[in-house]
Structure 1
Amino acid sequence: MSRILHLEALTNAQSIEELWDMHCRKMEEYGFDRLLYGFTRYRTTNGLGDPEDFVVLTNHSPEYTDVFMGQGLYFHAPMVKWALEHEGAASWRIALDMLSTGTMTESERRVVDFNRSMGVTAGYSVSFKSISPRTKGAIALTARKGLSQDEVDATWERFGHEIMVMNNIVHLKIMTLPYAGPGRGLTKRQREALQWVGDGKTTQDIATIMGLTSATIEKHLRLAREALNVDTTAQAVLKAAFQNQMFVVEA
């Protein structure tokens, strides 16, 4: 598939699963066989917000993600710190230089040691332009085992521009597609009830429109709040909108 046809296919993807599968296969052609994408809308001065609210996409093994993400190692990863402070692309040589010059903290060193044990030793990180101070997105492109950072840097020298364009398009496309995280999607009824709340309807109005009782509408809204892990229905409407779960066209 030509580059233009591939970009067209990315922009026409109808789901995050379809988009991510295409992107993983394309990045593997450049030698990056393991990807880890993360995005948050809830960044604060002290952190990245609740991990349950992250958009996280990866084809790493569970053995890797259960520790790197599940145990919070990502927060101490040198290239994650770089991504939070910069925009653009960076070689993982940054981490190698920190290690060789003794400027790496003990917590950062533990992350590097774990990555080495899992064959995560060479690659590139891309930090996307933020649309607000509270948002941040980045992707780590891990080179296949056996490739050195010198080889990865040589690949980037030749193809870096087109790799950046593809990753930027994927990032922007993800922002338009529904994403709820594992087990946190809304049912059709919950989504419909929230949509009517967003349109300014009262519980009784929604009950009449949907042909249900007010008690049933309240139940749908309560379950929607629980699924989205928020306290109020207004927060649920806002969060569902952020996750593109509002006004979804059913297949």
Structure 2
Amino acid sequence: MSLRAYLLSVADAQSIEELWDAHVAKMAEFGFDRLLYGFTRYRTATSLGDPEDFIILTNHSRSYTDVFLDEGHYFHAPMVHWALHNEGAKSWKLLSEMEQTKTLTAAERRVLEFNREMGVTAGYSISFKSISARSKGAIALTARSDLSQDDIDAVWHDHGADITLMNNIVHLKILTLPYSAPKRALTARQREVLEWVGDGKTTQDIALLMGLTTATVEKHLRLAREALAVETTAQAVLKAAFANQMFVLDA
């Protein structure tokens, strides 16, 4: 796919799935056959927030993600630590340098050993610029198993600027598309009542506008809070807005 065709597919993508498929195919052209993208809006000084609120996109195998993500290995991954404190692109050559200088913790060494077992040995990480202290996004680009770090560094020397630009564009596009983590999706009714709340309507107003009883409106609001795992309706409106689940134009 030409760069122009790729960028047009990114611009025209109407879903994260469509966008991700195009990006995976484009990165494979440069030797990166496995990608792992992550984004959170709920970072604190001591936590990345609830993992169920992360936007996670990957084409890694389940055998990899079941351990790296579900068992929390990502929290001790050296390149994740790098991404949290830096912006831009970084070669995984950093990992061998950390080994040589013996600066890896025991938990970090376990992550490296697991990655080697799974063929995740060479690649690059890109940490995206954040405008909020609570948000952070990054992507790990894993090279094909037949490529060494030196091989992929040579690819990066020739194409790194373009690869970085494409990943930044995809990251910005992802933030405009609706996304719902498992157990976080809203029903059409829940979304509609939250939209009316976002417009400043009271429960009585919403009941009149939707032709429902106030008790039914309150039920939809309660279920929306439960679906989004928040305590207040204001928090539900905020989280739904962050996930682009409100005021969505149907295709």
TM above 0.5, one fold? yes
Q: Which residue pairs with 1:193 in the alignment?
A: 193
> Deviations for 1:159-205, whole angstroms, at most 9, x for unmatched residues?
11111111000000011001111232111111000000111111111
Q: CA RMSD in A?
A: 0.9
Q: Which residue pairs with 1:220 in the alignment?
A: 220
Q: What amino acid does structure 1 have at the position aligned with 2:195?
A: Q
Moved over 6 A (4+): none
- Tell me the percent identity: 70
Matches within 5 A, 1:110-189: 110-189=110-189
Q: Which residue pairs with 1:53 in the alignment?
A: 53
Counterpart contact for 1:41–1:135, Cα < 8 Å: yes
Q: Which residue pairs with 2:31 in the alignment?
A: 31
Counterpart contact for 1:197–1:237, Cα < 8 Å: yes
Q: Which residue pairs with 1:233 in the alignment?
A: 233
Counterpart contact for 2:52–2:182, Cα < 8 Å: no
User: Is residue 6 from structure 1 mapped to residue 18 from structure 2 by the alignment?
Assistant: no
Structure 1 unaligned segments of length 5 or more: list them. Answer: none
> Deviations for 1:3-24, whole angstroms, at most 9, x for unmatched residues?
1221121011101010011001
The TM-score, its normalising length taken from structure 1, stands at 0.98
Counterpart contact for 2:43–2:136, Cα < 8 Å: yes
Q: Which residue pairs with 1:20 in the alignment?
A: 20
Q: Which residue pairs with 2:89 in the alignment?
A: 89
Q: What amino acid does structure 2 have at the position aligned with 1:87?
A: E
Q: What amino acid does structure 1 have at the position aligned with 2:44?
A: T
Counterpart contact for 1:11–1:169, Cα < 8 Å: no
The separation in 1 between residues aligned to 2:211 and 2:96, in whole angstroms, is: 63
The separation in 1 between residues aligned to 2:126 and 2:159, in whole angstroms, is: 14
> Deviations for 1:125-184, whole angstroms, at most 9, x for unmatched residues?
000001111111000000111210000100000111111111000000011001111232
Larger deviation, residues 177-186 vs 224-233: 177-186
The separation in 2 between residues aligned to 1:149 and 1:182, in whole angstroms, is: 35
Instruction: Give the number of aligned pairs.
Output: 251
Q: Classify the secondary structure of the residue corresponding to 1:137.
A: strand
Counterpart contact for 1:92–1:125, Cα < 8 Å: yes
Q: How many Å apart are 1:52 and its aligned residue?
A: 1.4
The separation in 2 between residues aligned to 1:213 and 1:63, in whole angstroms, is: 48
The separation in 2 between residues aligned to 1:112 and 1:77, in whole angstroms, is: 8
> Deviations for 1:39-70, whole angstroms, at most 9, x for unmatched residues?
11111111211111111111111111111111
Q: Which residue pairs with 2:102 in the alignment?
A: 102
Q: What amino acid does structure 2 have at the position aligned with 1:103?
A: T
The TM-score, its normalising length taken from structure 2, stands at 0.98
The separation in 2 between residues aligned to 1:245 and 1:195, in whole angstroms, is: 9
Structure 2 unaligned segments of length 5 or more: list them. Answer: none
The separation in 1 between residues aligned to 2:250 and 2:12, in whole angstroms, is: 17
Q: Classify the secondary structure of the residue corresponding to 2:137.
A: strand
